[in-house]
Amino acid sequence: MNILNRVDKDCCGCAACMNSCPVSCITMKPDSEGFLYPSVDETACINCKKCEKVCPVLKGRQVDNKPKAYLVRHRSKGMRASSTSGGFFVAAAEYVIKQGGCVFGVGFDENFCVRHSFIENTGDIRRFNRSKYVQSEVGLSYRKVKEFLDNGRMVLFSGTPCQVEGLLNYLGRDYDRLLTMDIICKGVPSPKFWRKYLNWHKKRSGKDIKEVRFREKTYGYGSTTMRVIYSDGSEYDEPYDVDPMLQFYSKEMISRPSCHNCKVKGKHRRSSFTAGDYWYVSGAAPEMDDGIGVSQVLVNDEKAAAAFEEIRKRLDVAELDFDNDSAINGGMMVSSAVASPRRDEMFADLDKMSVHGLQKKYFPSTFKLKNRIKRQIRPIMYKTGILKIYKRRMRKKQSEGR
Ligand SMILES: Cc1cc2nc3c(=O)[nH]c(=O)nc-3n(C[C@H](O)[C@H](O)[C@H](O)COP(=O)(O)OP(=O)(O)OC[C@H]3O[C@@H](n4cnc5c(N)ncnc54)[C@H](O)[C@@H]3O)c2cc1C
């Protein structure tokens, strides 16, 4: 029985097994939904079981820590505008690189595949900036992290909770010079759906894609907008309830199966930092609510706390009460999102239907006149300042209604 038989659909695709295999007999291969799973070359396998020992799903975890919770925002408005939340990642990456370290994170490759890689210059931080709502391919990054650490370099590794667990299991011991940042994670969407979505863009526009921003903030932090910039500089801008990638993701139709039964989430984590969004800023720290975004950060251990003392020099910071679940916006921190009952049906349709066809079948209201008008007036509301006032009121209401 190999590792895949043991974990089956609980496999989170973190690739710790592939990284740990001493004879490199494990590769990660896509299934029919486009998610990567380990494939074992049984003829080369020496049955050492290292892959099982590092697997976050099989290993489980026990964490006994006393995290501190903060609301933070990067002091540079520009950095914050180009970050998903409040720009904590940028501040942490700047700090580590200034110490001579390197930073592992998730960016696009030249074909817009979502992958882990590393950077060593502050000028490259923008490559990892912004959430990419697609499961990233870790490749052999954990081996590279170990190589840097063994050579005495400082490393910041950022990723989903399962990827950070995978790395820590792979390393097998603590390193003074390692910091990790996991995200509060709703789930990771299918790379196959993503590829289909990119092709849809190319076909409908007749242009190549230059840039993708999943959470463009032009209309404010709370107005999740997909922006695709084409090769000629023209732009596609659609809100989360119209853009197909964000629509299928938000309605839980395209996340990895294991995300609906996540084994590594929790309030207590082995990462140094946990970062996520924070929607109740107008209640918790109204002075930090300028509509450009804030991050909620858990500082999970003493090593992280020491680093945070330096990182916070780049941040505005307010304390949150870790023991109060609603104060720390704990929903996706601990619970798995429930899969749509139509998820399997959608994946069965994926190879047969166009993106437009899928949208017409699963979200017909997208094309209703009422919704089309709403989309037309949004830029006008934005330009006249009405959208800003409306969003601020909504955020205030959200804070009060908790
Ligand atoms: C798939 C996904 C789901 C998320 N779900 C939630 C949620 O439900 N609730 C919530 O509060 N926050 C969620 N987040 C986290 C949130 O979107 C921000 O990433 C986080 O708040 C950090 O923002 P920032 O402003 O500090 O930095 P940014 O610069 O925006 O963050 C970028 C960081 O995210 C990492 N990253 C980007 N894409 C990926 C990816 N595909 N896989 C792994 N790491 C990635 C980068 O390496 C970098 O460290 C999610 C993020 C992702 C990628």
Rounded CA separation 394/389 (Å): 9
pLDDT at 369: 76
**What pLDDT score was predicted for residue 343?**
98
Q: Is 336 in the pocket of ligand 1 (CB under 6 A)?
A: no
The model's pLDDT over 143-163, given as tens digits with 9 standing for 90+, comes to: 999 999 999 999 999 999 999
Pocket test for ligand 1, best of 84, 128, 134 (most atoms within 8 A of CB): 84
Regarding the beta carbon of 87 and ligand 1, being less than 6 Å apart is answered: yes
CATH number belonging to the domain at 3-53, selected among 3.30.70.100, 3.40.228.10, 3.10.20.30, 3.30.70.20: 3.30.70.20
Distance of CA 324 to the CA centre of its chain: 24
Mean pLDDT for 315-321 is 96
Percent of the chain residues topping a pLDDT of 70: 98
Q: Which of 240, 103, 245, 110 is nearest to 188 (CA)?
A: 245
Asked if pLDDT for residue 396 goes beyond 90, the answer is no
Cα(293) to centroid of ligand 1, in Å?
A: 13
Residue 398's pLDDT is: 65
Q: What is the tens place of the pLDDT at every residue in 83-123?
A: 999 999 999 999 999 999 999 999 999 999 999 999 999 99
Of 70-74, 219-223, 309-313, give the lowest mean pLDDT range.
Answer: 219-223
Residue 401 is predicted with a pLDDT of: 60
What digits encode the pLDDT tens for the residues 166-215? 999 999 999 999 999 999 999 999 999 999 999 999 999 999 999 999 99
- Give domain limits for the chain: 3-53, 68-188+255-334, 191-254+337-400
Q: Which atom of ligand 1 is nearest to the CA of 84?
A: 30
**Does pLDDT of 394 surpass 80?**
no
